[in-house]
Amino acid sequence: MRTIEEMGILAKEASYKTGEMTTGEKNAVLLNAAQALLDNMDSVLAANKADVDAAVAKGITGALIDRLTLNESRIEGMADGLRQVANLKDPVGEFDSMTTLENGLTIGKKRVAMGVIGIIYEARPNVTADAFGLCLKAVNAVILRGGKEAIRSNTAVVEIFRKSLRDSGLDENIVQIVEDTSHETAEKMMRLNGYIDVLIPRGGAGLIRTVVMNSTVPVIETGVGNCHIFVDESAKLDTALDIVINAKTQRPGVCNACESLLVHKNIAEEFIPMVTKALMDKNVEIRGDETFAGMVEGVIPATDADWSTEFIDYIISARVVDSIDEAVEHIRKYGTHHSEAIVTENYTNAQLFLNKVDAAAVYVNASTRFTDGEQFGFGAEIGISTQKLHARGPMGLKELTTTKYIIYGNGQVRK
Amino acid sequence: MRTIEEMGILAKEASYKTGEMTTGEKNAVLLNAAQALLDNMDSVLAANKADVDAAVAKGITGALIDRLTLNESRIEGMADGLRQVANLKDPVGEFDSMTTLENGLTIGKKRVAMGVIGIIYEARPNVTADAFGLCLKAVNAVILRGGKEAIRSNTAVVEIFRKSLRDSGLDENIVQIVEDTSHETAEKMMRLNGYIDVLIPRGGAGLIRTVVMNSTVPVIETGVGNCHIFVDESAKLDTALDIVINAKTQRPGVCNACESLLVHKNIAEEFIPMVTKALMDKNVEIRGDETFAGMVEGVIPATDADWSTEFIDYIISARVVDSIDEAVEHIRKYGTHHSEAIVTENYTNAQLFLNKVDAAAVYVNASTRFTDGEQFGFGAEIGISTQKLHARGPMGLKELTTTKYIIYGNGQVRK
């Protein structure tokens, strides 16, 4: 088994070669890899069965088993994903600008590969194919470190990709999987400066925090979404109701789902019974502040921890606020800078909310569920950045690249 | 004295207010601060004299004392710098894109303030004014942590700015200086996630490495430049000579100066005596590989360490290479991804060098000394990024900002 340092060296070497591939060559690799995945479905399913059996034997249940389990249609989905990436516009080689300075130097900012990307993720084998496809299209080499529960599945998928690369005469180390899933190796990976150019964690809040707090390699923080909807006093209440129900219940297990509802006091008496009934009809548990809980039956008193919890479940925290300023204050205190929405008919308040709320995506009169690479028209996404450096919001192919300045001179020296 | 955590809270609070300032209001603050600096020159000079006296008493000499010392003209330069920043175009509020999706959502990517920026730097008091000006114009609050040798000067300058802010009815905590210059406090600052949005180290390789290796706050790595010039076999030798001499000697103490010369073997016999004489005439010490040293008198044999050293002095390492591929290999092994140049008349080699060399700025037939915000037309710079995330190359005002998605809906929910 290769050490993580050896993997870093091999990945860097491979990235020099991917940097020279044309869009056509990259697309051919993606289509070949998709076909190879379908042709070798049995080996992936067998490896996955061993993973699932081991997880069940360890007493793991529910959503985690569901995320871990592959079947024919999920593998077809992975192959489809690779084909979709082949169809995406290639950002590499675009020039963001090109100009000639007074001294005759012609200077351009060219979009180029990042180099080596590390992805640390949990027990979802489909991330393995997604990450490979997106990274390759952006001509990066990738080192994947998935959860230990999925190691057999991930290894099987990566072996298929590596064989497909070899068969095409390419460097198989364009994609590598970290087979040693110990914490020590993960921590070494987080400190592999010089070999890994950027690390992207994909998973729950705990994983992301571990990567942020332990990495010396630059990290793009993704995903945790404690998203709020503020229903202002001037809101159309039926619109507000639709938005809250959609944002909370259309898919509660994702980061752009609504976790917290803020209601202006002047409409509380009318709106709270409406929204409570609609939420309860969808089996959503409501944890309300004293005012909210006092207005309707069946609301559980919220604890302080509830305001900062990303439930990713059929639970919502709910509070009555005196003003838009109090709503903004609340979001500043408890928000995770992901997606925040106001429902209002008041022009000034809409602008104030857009300006004052510090988040990757800020909405007026729409569901927070739209914060998504596909919805935004990027085609695919590697995650949703909640940090402010490099990328903010859904990250597509372009965010997996960097730029360099290209300067054409004819002997210029500095005076 | 405030703790660093208290400073973080105050800075975050101040950043909410700066975020609402118009360009006109920011420019007024900058001009007032420039005038206040001139009006209070005596207090700055007195504080600086105490710093310099203390440094001399500790046995510090040479370039460090020069960098530490302020005089009337340097303070005027600091004030001028603030006025120049007032004249720069304000990037905040620009939309990188604005479009309407099929479902009627109108989505725009708006350029907004980063929030709170931390700057960790060494004993150059002029950085204090530069950083304040650039950060304020990008509507960020800033926490400055300068070197302990300059603490009296930095505190005096920051006090003038804070008074100027108060006099304008603004939050003085837009700028704060860390008065406790202990390593412990610096390390706490590097881990102030949630309060500091980005940390920018400015200084030597040791400082930058310390910040990169210890920060959990996102860092923009700046500055270390082990820059190469490769003189290809087809180069015009007089052009090559001009470029090497300029890049090495025009200002050797900066990060875009040339530190290493690579000469193609087929022109070595003609070029090496020329370049050696010209460098020696400028008192440059040459540390050459065996082939280089064997061709001329007075060249010191290079050690392995010399290839990876940023001398920032009248010293250059020099080597003969067999091919452009060997030059690229050398740069990949020893370069710091800052600025790299080829001198050539061969079209294919020019393109190959531009494509294969992984650096913030890659030049054909020009001096590496141009990698600079002012030279590139950005007006001013906060540093030169040598990392690949967020910003690469000279960082101007725009790189001190981030973006957020603004979405205008009329009740859209996700299907």
Q: Are B91 and B111 in contact (CB under 8 A)?
A: yes
pLDDT category at B62 given cuts 50, 70, 90 is: confident
pLDDT at B358 over 90: yes
CB contact under 8 A, B193 and A216: no
A40-99 per-position pLDDT tens digit: 999 999 999 999 999 999 999 888 898 899 999 999 999 999 999 999 999 999 998 899
Q: Which chain A residue is nearest to residue B359, measuring alpha carbons?
A: A404
Contacts of A371 in chain B (CB under 8 A): 405
Instruction: Report the C-alpha gap between A114 and A135 in whole angstroms.
Output: 9
**How far from A361 is each of A245, A373, B409, CA to CA, in Å?**
19, 12, 13
Average pLDDT over residues B210-224: 90
For the segment A95-119, what is each residue's pLDDT rounded down to a tens digit?
988 999 999 999 999 999 999 999 9
Number of CB atoms found within 10 A of residue B283's CB? 8
Can you give the three-state secondary structure of B258-297, one letter per residue? EEEEEEEHHHHHHHHHHHHHHHHHCCCEEEECHHHHHHCC
Tell me the C-alpha distance between B174 and B139, whole Å: 9
Tell me: the pLDDT tens digits for B252-287? Answer: 988 999 999 999 999 999 999 999 999 999 999 999
**Helix %, strand %, coil % for chain A, to 5?**
45, 20, 30
Confidence at residue A268, expressed as pLDDT on a 0 to 100 scale: 98
Q: Kindly report the CATH number that applies to the domain delimited by B4-221+387-408.
A: 3.40.605.10
- Tally helices (H) and strands (E) across chain B: 15, 16
User: CB contact, 8 Å: A16 with chain B?
Assistant: yes
Give the global pTM: 0.91
B256, B384 in Cβ contact below 8 A? yes
User: Quick one: which of A119, A133, A126 has its CA closest to A66?
Assistant: A126
**φ and ψ of A400, to 5 deg:** -90, 5
Check: CB of residue B319 under 8 Å from CB of residue B268.
no
How close B344 comes to chain A (CA, Å)? 10
Rg of chain B on CA atoms, in Å: 24
Cα pseudo-dihedral A249, A255, A256, A258, rounded to 10: 50
Strand pairing of B106-113 and A95-100?
unpaired
Which amino acid is present at B206?
G
Taking the C-alpha atoms of residue A121 and residue A172, their distance in angstroms, rounded to an integer, is: 21
| Average pLDDT score over residue span B387-408 | 93
Task: Flag if A19 and B413 touch (Cβ within 8 Å).
Answer: no
Q: Looking at residue A399, what is its pLDDT? A: 92
- What mean pLDDT comes out for the span B84-101? 93
Assess A367–B contact: CB distance below 8 Å, yes or no.
Answer: yes
Asked whether residue A322 carries a pLDDT value surpassing 90, the answer given is yes
Classify the C-alpha dihedral A179-A180-A183-A185 as positive or negative: negative
List CB contacts (< 8 A) between B213 and chain A: 193, 216
CA–CA dist A183, A120 (Å, integer): 11
Q: Measured between CB atoms, does B24 come within 8 Å of chain A?
A: no
Q: Which residues of B364-394 are buried (b: 16+ CB within 10 A; e: fewer)?
A: bbbbbbbbbbebbebebbbbbbbbbbbbbbb
pLDDT confidence bin for A203, thresholds 50/70/90: confident
Q: Which residues pair with A116 in a beta bridge?
A: A141
Q: What average pLDDT does range A291-304 have in this prediction?
A: 97
Using the structure block, give the residue that is written with the tokens 């012609």.
A106
Name the segment(s) of chain A with CATH classification 3.40.309.10.
227-370
A354–B contact, CB cutoff 8 A: yes
The answer to whether the Cβ–Cβ distance between B407 and A19 falls below 8 Å is no
Extract the tokens encoding A386: 């909640």
Domain A4-221+387-407 class?
A: alpha beta
Mean pLDDT of chain A: 94
In B115-197, which ranges are E strands? 116-121, 141-145, 175-177
With a threshold of 0.85, tell me whether the complex ipTM lies above it.
yes
In sequence order, what are the residues at sequence separation of 6 or more whose Cβ sits closer than 8 angstroms to the Cβ of residue B348? none
pLDDT of residue B401: 94
Cβ–Cβ contact B355 with A under 8 A: yes
Identify whether the C-beta of residue B189 lies closer than 8 Å to the C-beta of residue B4. yes
CA distances from A292 to A228, A246, A265, A298, B147 (A): 16, 20, 9, 11, 52
Give the pLDDT of residue A151: 96
C-beta of residue A362 within 8 angstroms of C-beta of residue A195: no
- Euclidean distance between CA atoms A271 and B359, whole angstroms: 57
Question: Per-residue DSSP letters for A262-311?
Answer: EEEHHHHHHHHHHHHHHHHHTT-EEEE-HHHHHHSSSPEEPPHHHHT---
Q: By C-alpha distance, which of B292, B345, B338, B337 is closest to B319? A: B292
Contact A193 B212 (CB under 8 A): yes
- Which residues partner with B364 through β-bridges? A408, B342
Nearest to B404 among A193, A246, A359 (CB): A359
Percent of chain B residues past pLDDT 90, beyond the cut = 88
pLDDT score for A221: 87
More confident residue, A267 or B124: A267
Decide if A243 and B413 are in contact by the 8 Å CB cutoff.
yes
- Region at B396 (left for phi over 0; alpha for psi -120 to 50; beta for the rest): beta
Question: pLDDT value at position B95?
Answer: 95
Distance CA A150, CA A120 (A): 13
Beta bridge partners of A143: A118, A176
Which residues touch A342 (CB under 8 Å, ≥6 apart)?
A: A229, A230, A232, A324, A327, A349, A350, A353, A363, A364, A365
Helix/strand/coil for A330: helix
Predicted local distance difference test score (pLDDT) of residue B337: 95
Range list for CATH 3.40.605.10 in chain B? 4-221+387-408
Find the largest Cα–Cα distance for chain B. 80
Q: How far apart are CA A189 and CA B246, in angstroms?
A: 41
Cβ–Cβ contact A366 with B under 8 A: yes
How far apart CA B254 and CA B247 sit, in angstroms, is 10
Q: Do A374 and B103 meet the contact criterion of CB atoms below 8 Å apart?
A: no
Residues β-bridged to residue B160: none
Rounded-to-integer distance, Cα A188 and Cα B266, Å: 44
A408 at interface of B, judged by CB pairs closer than 8 A: yes
What pLDDT sits at residue A259? 98
Residue with tokens 């930058």: B208
Residue B250 to residues B245, B334, B369, Cα–Cα distance (Å) = 7, 23, 8
Q: Which residues of A78-110 are buried (b: 16+ CB within 10 A; e: fewer)?
A: bbebbebbbebebbbeeeeeeeeeeeebebbbb
Question: What tokens were used for B60?
Answer: 């510090």
Rounded distance between C-alpha atoms, residue A287 and residue B290, angstroms: 76
B250 reaches A (C-beta below 8 A): yes
* Pairwise CA distance, residues A247 & A243, whole Å: 6
Question: Residue A107: beta bridge partners?
Answer: A99, A407
Contact between B260 and B254 (Cβ < 8 Å): no
Q: Which amino acid is at B304?
A: D
Pairing of strands B393-395, B383-385: antiparallel
Q: How far apart are CA B246 and CA A336, in angstroms?
A: 50
Q: How far apart are CA B31 and CA A299, in angstroms?
A: 56
| Per-residue pLDDT reduced to its tens digit, A22-36 | 999 999 999 999 999
Q: What integer best gives the mean pLDDT of chain B?
A: 94
pLDDT of residue A253: 87
Give the HSE-up count for residue A303: Cα atoms under 13 Å, Cβ half-sphere.
2
Q: What would be the CATH architecture of the domain defined by A227-370?
A: 3-Layer(aba) Sandwich (3.40)
pLDDT band at residue B184 using 50, 70 and 90 as cut-offs: very high
Is residue A162 within 8 Å of residue A183, measured between CB atoms?
no
Checking DSSP bridges between strand B401-412 and strand A361-366, what pairing results, if any? parallel
A–B CB contacts, 8 A cutoff, strictly below: 191
Q: Is the pLDDT of residue B223 over 80?
A: no
Pairing between β-strand B339-343 and β-strand B361-366 as defined by DSSP bridges: parallel
The predicted pLDDT at position A378 comes to: 81
* Mean pLDDT calculated for residue range B151-166: 97
